[in-house]
Amino acid sequence: MRSYYSCEQVRAAEAPLLAALPEGTLMRRAAYGLAGVVAGELRTRTGAVAGRRVSLLVGSGDNGGDALWAGAFLRKRGVAVTALLLAPDKAHRAGLEALRSAGGRAVSAAPHRLGDPDLVLDGIVGISGRGPLRPAAAELVEAITAPVVAVDTPSGVDPDTGAVDGPAVSADVTVAFGAYKPVHALAAARCGRVELVDIGLELPPADLVAAEPSEIGAVWPVPEADDDKYSQGVVGIVAGSDRFPGAGVLCSGGAVAATSGMVRYAGSAAAQVLARYPEVVAASSFAAAGRAQAWVVGPGGGTDDEAARTLREVLSTDLPVLVDADGLTVLARDPSLVRHRAAPTLLTPHAGEFARLTGHRPETDRVAAVRALAADWQVHVLLKGRATLIARPDGHVFVNDAGGSWASTAGAGDVLAGVVGALMSSGMAPDLAAAAGARAHALAANLAARGGAAAAPIAASGIQAHLGAAVRILRAHLPES
């Protein structure tokens, strides 16, 4: 698992090292690693290190010191380094002296002094910074045309929440010191590629994690010697309606593609589902559907009294249940249906549905918001977005950065619900099933979008069609035995 740590946790881990090591050791350790990444980036982009030009954007905090020390190390490798000081009187003294001693220049920050660098280091603010860039820094960043390497976190992006509420840096590469921070997953598009420099921190187990591809591949259910269609998991799908039959088709298709078990469908779109997926066992109602090991309920099912009765019947079982789409709207009117439910329950809202459930949108601090709902209702929650979050009632959160927003298309959530429900029916815990399903779903969307010479918009059926390829790629990451 890739672990992400809050700024408070990182500072706590740094404290004993700062107390034990000579002053400045930890900063120089971080800066040396930063300089190595920058040198590698220069070599990749320009074919050389010596003779290249780097500009440092230097704020008043320790991130500015990191940038100055990195500039000193780069200068010793033949790089021409100019530091643009946003607060000359508050620049890190030892770092500034090191840069000047190595032959680097330091000037007061102004856009016309950026010059024509091969690369820019963003050392404006670090993990102590909050809020947007101040006007002088914003003007400087606006003038950049070269690739940007951010020091620990992109300036202007909240390191704990990934929130941006004004001018901020968008980096091509971000070099994280000691630990990944939430921003590196929650605002991945702002961070670019993230490189981790080990500075010797000892950290506790994280409560915000991302599963690696090999871990997803290792847990994905595949048939074993004694398996049959029942032992691999039977998922029931209660989705679609006369008005929205496609939701039943897409949700069932996601389930069919996810595992080798069995899919039961219950609803008025049975004919359309069977026409597309003849392997599905279909019935006209939940009562007639037969036994399953997990249920998916809600996509395209409507929000009227009949839909509410069906939702209540599904939730009255002692089986794992995933509630999505219209089911969430019904649930928002009567949360008691799940608040005291003993069996595992997974809610899968997008931001608007989350607002209906809680009365507020989750944008400012999405991790805190999803944790609060999971704890308050004692359910698992998958909050959709480019960075999908999956929270357990105990506060543990999986995060999955989709690597793009190709899945932002009508019906994609129906496919995801089917995939995750099928994984739940195999016996997988709801949070792990949601994390695995979200990763495969995002990968399938990216494969569908990039199927030709250039990426192009896709439809939900394209995601479903690429799920098998996505699972094969995830399983290809398994280590050889």
Tell me: is residue 247 an annotated ligand-binding position.
Answer: yes
Tell me: is residue 414 an annotated ligand-binding position.
Answer: yes
Across the chain, how many H-helices and E-strands are there? 19, 18
Q: Whole-angstrom Cα distance, residue 183 to residue 172? A: 14
Tell me: is residue 401 an annotated ligand-binding position.
Answer: no
Amino acid at 90: K
Tell me: is residue 126 an annotated ligand-binding position.
Answer: yes
Tell me: is residue 53 an annotated ligand-binding position.
Answer: no
Tell me: is residue 384 an annotated ligand-binding position.
Answer: yes
Tell me: is residue 40 an annotated ligand-binding position.
Answer: no
Tell me: is residue 128 an annotated ligand-binding position.
Answer: yes
| CB contact burial 466-478 (16+ within 10 A = b; e otherwise) | bbeebbebbeeee
Tell me: is residue 388 an annotated ligand-binding position.
Answer: yes
In 3D, which of 258, 180, 196, 185 has the Cα closest to residue 415? 258
Tell me: is residue 427 an annotated ligand-binding position.
Answer: no
Q: Whole-angstrom Cα distance, residue 343 to residue 455? A: 42
Q: Whole-angstrom Cα distance, residue 367 to residue 388? A: 10
Q: Whole-angstrom Cα distance, residue 418 to residue 410? A: 15
Angle 455-387-157 from CA coordinates, rounded to 5°? 105
Tell me: is residue 29 an annotated ligand-binding position.
Answer: no
Tell me: is residue 413 an annotated ligand-binding position.
Answer: yes
**Which value, to the nearest 10 degrees, does the dihedral of the CA atoms of residues 268, 276, 446, 233 take?**
70
What angle do helix axes 412-425 and 430-449 make, rounded to 10 degrees?
A: 140
Tell me: is residue 82 an annotated ligand-binding position.
Answer: no
Q: Which residues are within 8 A (CB) of 451 and not within 5 positions of it... i.e. 6 or more apart?
A: 466
Tell me: is residue 364 an annotated ligand-binding position.
Answer: no
**Which value, to the nearest 10 degrees, does the dihedral of the CA atoms of residues 155, 134, 121, 200 take?**
-40
Tell me: is residue 66 an annotated ligand-binding position.
Answer: yes
Query: Would you say 37 and 251 are in contact if contact means Cβ atoms under 8 Å apart?
Result: no
Count other C-beta atoms under 10 Å from residue 165's C-beta: 13
Tell me: is residue 152 an annotated ligand-binding position.
Answer: yes
In 3D, which of 170, 179, 127 has the Cα closest to residue 150? 170
Distance from first CA to last CA of the chain, Å, rounded? 20
Tell me: is residue 387 an annotated ligand-binding position.
Answer: yes
In 3D, which of 304, 296, 180 has the Cα closest to residue 242? 304
Q: Which residues are within 8 A (CB) of 41 and not within 5 positions of it... i.e. 6 or more apart?
A: 119, 147, 149, 172, 173
Tell me: is residue 104 an annotated ligand-binding position.
Answer: no
Q: Whole-angstrom Cα distance, residue 181 to residue 175? A: 11
Tell me: is residue 466 an annotated ligand-binding position.
Answer: no
Q: Whole-angstrom Cα distance, residue 272 to residue 280? A: 11
Cα distances (Å, whole numbers) of residue 26 to 39, 60, 70, 373: 20, 18, 13, 39
H or E segment and range at residue 375: helix 366-377
Q: Detail the residues annotated as belonging to a binding site for K(+).
A: 63, 122, 155
- Indicate the annotated binding residues: 62-66, 122, 126-132, 152, 155, 247, 300, 350, 384-388, 413-414
Binding residues for (6S)-NADPHX, as ranges, are 62-66, 126-132, 152, 247, 300, 350, 414
- Give the residue ranges of the annotated binding site for AMP: 384-388, 413
